[in-house]
Amino acid sequence: MSPIDSTIPYYPVNDFGPLMKGLVIGGVGILHVFLAQFAIGGGMLLWYFERRAQRGDRDARTFVDGYFKVLVLISFVVGALTGVAMWFTTIQVGARTIGLMIDEFHWLWATEWIWFAVEIVAGYAFYRYGPRLADRARLRLLALYAVASWLSLFWINGILSWQLTPGDWLEGGGIWAGFFNASFWPSLVFRTAVATTLAALAGCILINTMDLPRERRAALLRRAARFAAPIAVMPVLALWFLAVLPEDSRSWLLGGSMPMTMFVGVAAGASFLIGAYVVVGLIVQRLYINGATATLLLGLAFGATAAGEFVREGARKPYTVRGVLYSTSIRPTEVAALRAGGATANDPYPLKATYPSEQLTRGAKVERALCDACHTMRGANALVELTRTWTDDQLRLNLAKLQRTKGFMPPFAGNAEDVEALVQLLRWEHRERAAGFAPTSAPEHLAQIARWLDEAGTGPAGATR
């Protein structure tokens, strides 16, 4: 049978060495989100400064033309291409997830593409011809750029937030129920506030490079700082976002999972520091912000963005699309069949490495099919380290009742032989792949594992919504 013909899609799995796949997509994703949001806020900031320029503020015009060059050189190049990279990376990490998203939302994704194209054309037109255009045309072009870039965010935001809170879409509510889901509006307002803040901080850096007397730079800085003011409402937006999250996801963010809670703390702490400086220092006390401080704040904003994206990704566990697709790229409805037939019975792809026994080979295939999306064997989030101190029976129990062991893990999508093969593989790895390794499995172990699998059931630990 060709790999193309299987009922459940099986894709070749790539190994990124010590990097877990989440780190790979996280690295690309955070950079892309940061640059894209900078471009969106940049459009609004430039329109505002252009309006000021046309009311007699000559420095504002100089700022607009200088800022736009930076926007084009950074955002139009690295920002646009990391967007393409996001698709390629998502395919590497979760081909079935991106396939499902494309299937469900392709017309809206194509709509987002149209706005992105308008943004790019308006942006390049302004970059190239802006200095030669009449005031009215300049302002309109910048308005078109700002609106198109924000609409690009609008459309992509609905697709991304659907992954976390698909809501009534799960009950057949249709595409709009999925698009305007519970986290759509808080997420959209939150990202818009982040976008204006990033643009303002980047603007402050650029203003400090302008060859102007200090007082004229200070005047521009005060204007730019206003665009960072929305960060003051971040706590309210964050609470709104938390309120619409599914209960289990919220509980992990609020102490149920310490790494997640710490990332929430990093995002909140960094945002608070930026907000306090902007509101108290720049807006109320009208302090002068130099390039170094603005760069530091932008660095903090990058940290907050990174932590926020980690939280958003992590809150979806054990799903990549809540209620529809587990992080293992297996649908909840497919688990029962895989319990009966085995996790890798239809996997057409061979292993790249060789193993000393058939059981260890099977274990390696099970690890690739069910664990590899979020774990490595010995690198980041290493299975060997997570399970090193577990006894053999503990290994069997915890894997068989995986969704009960940790609520953010999916149910084990294989049979008793698969669990035992994975247990033996981990024992072998714990013993540094010893040459004389002897498996300890026995028929009574398989019977016990089968009972545990039945007790755990095939559903997730938490609610599907």
Partner 1 sequence: MTALWPFDASIESLWLALYLASFALHAVFVSYVAAGTGYTLIAALRGAPDPIAERTRDWLPFMLGAGITAGVGPLLFIQLLYQRRFYTGNLLLGPRWGAVVPALILGFYALYLAKASSRWRRFALGVGLACFAFVAWSWTEIHLVMMDDAAWRAMYGAGTRMYLSLDVVPRLAIWLGAMLALYAMVAAWSAASGERRRLAVLALVGLVASAATAAIQAGTRGALDPAHGWTYVLMLAAAAATVGWAWILRRPDGPGLALATGATTAALLAGAVVREAPRLAMIERGRASASESGGLVVFFVTLAVGVAAITWVIRTVRGAAAT
- Could you give the CA distance from residue 297 to residue 275 in angstroms, rounded to a whole number? 10
Residue 144 in the binding site for partner 1 (CB under 8 A): yes
Asked if 109 touches partner 1 (CB under 8 A), the answer is: yes
Closest alpha carbon to 294 in 285, 281, 284: 281
Residue 89 sits in the site that holds partner 1 (CB under 8 A): yes
Asked if 110 touches partner 1 (CB under 8 A), the answer is yes
Told to check if 70 binds partner 1 by CB under 8 A, we report: no
Please pick, from the candidates 65, 66, 70, 111, the single residue that binds partner 1 as defined by CB under 8 A. 111
Should residue 393 be labelled a site residue for partner 1 when binding is judged by CB under 8 A?
A: no
Which listed range, 112-120, 188-196, 286-294, 332-340, lies at the site for partner 1 (CB under 8 A)? Answer: 112-120
With the CA atoms of 277, 29, 113 and 165 taken in that order, what torsion angle do they form, in degrees rounded to the nearest 10?
A: -90
Contact call for residue 73 and partner 1 (CB under 8 A): yes
Cα separations (Å) of 93 from 88, 144, 340, 372, 392? 9, 35, 26, 9, 30
Does the protein bind partner 1 through residue 345 (CB under 8 A)? no
Is residue 188 within the footprint of partner 1 (CB under 8 A)? no
Distances (CA, A) of 240 to 34, 188, 245, 268, 315: 22, 12, 9, 14, 15
Residue 427 is encoded by which pair of tokens?
A: 């024992």
User: Taking CB under 8 A as the rule, does residue 148 contact partner 1?
Assistant: yes
Does 239 sit near partner 1 (CB under 8 A)? no
Which of residues 58, 214, 352, 431 is near partner 1 by CB under 8 A?
Answer: 352
Other beta carbons within 10 Å of 463? 11
Q: Position 125: which residue type?
A: A
286 contributes a contact to partner 1 by CB under 8 A: no
Indicate the SS3 state at residue 319: strand
Q: Which of 174, 235, 259, 341 binds partner 1 (CB under 8 A)?
A: 174
- Asked if residue 331 lies in contact with residue 323, where contact means CB atoms within 8 angstroms, the answer is no
Closer residue to partner 1 (CB): 114 or 434: 114
Q: Is 108 in the site for partner 1 (CB under 8 A)?
A: yes
Phi, psi angles (nearest 5°) of residue 160: -70, -40
Contacting residue, 30, 33, 98, 298, with partner 1 by CB under 8 A: 98
Tokens 């037939």 locate to: 341
Q: What are phi and psi of 321, to 5 degrees?
A: -130, 115
Q: Please spell the DSSP secondary structure of 420-458, one letter per residue.
A: HHHHHHHHHHHTTT-TT------HHHHHHHHHHHHHH-S
Q: Which stretch binds partner 1 (CB under 8 A): 102-110, 233-241, 260-268, 417-425?
A: 102-110
Q: Does 115 bind partner 1 (CB under 8 A)?
A: yes
117 contributes a contact to partner 1 by CB under 8 A: yes
* Helix, strand or coil, per DSSP, at residue 458: coil
Overall size of the chain counted in residues: 465
Place of tokens 């033996």: 424
Q: Please, which residue, 339 or 368, has the CB nearer to partner 1? A: 368
141 binds partner 1 (CB under 8 A): yes
> Which CB sits closer to partner 1, 81 or 276?
81
Least CB distance to partner 1 at residue 254 (A): 34
* Tokens (6 digits) for 421: 């093969």
Per CB under 8 A, the segment of 34-42, 213-221, 344-352, 408-416 that binds partner 1 is 344-352
Among 18, 58, 113, 243, binds partner 1 (CB under 8 A): 113
Region for 432 from its dihedrals, namely left if φ exceeds 0, alpha if ψ lies in -120 to 50, beta otherwise: left
Interface residue list for partner 1 (CB under 8 A): 2-4, 9, 11-14, 73, 76-78, 80-85, 87-89, 91-92, 95, 98-100, 102-111, 113-118, 120-122, 124-125, 128-129, 132-133, 137, 140-141, 144, 148, 174-176, 348-352
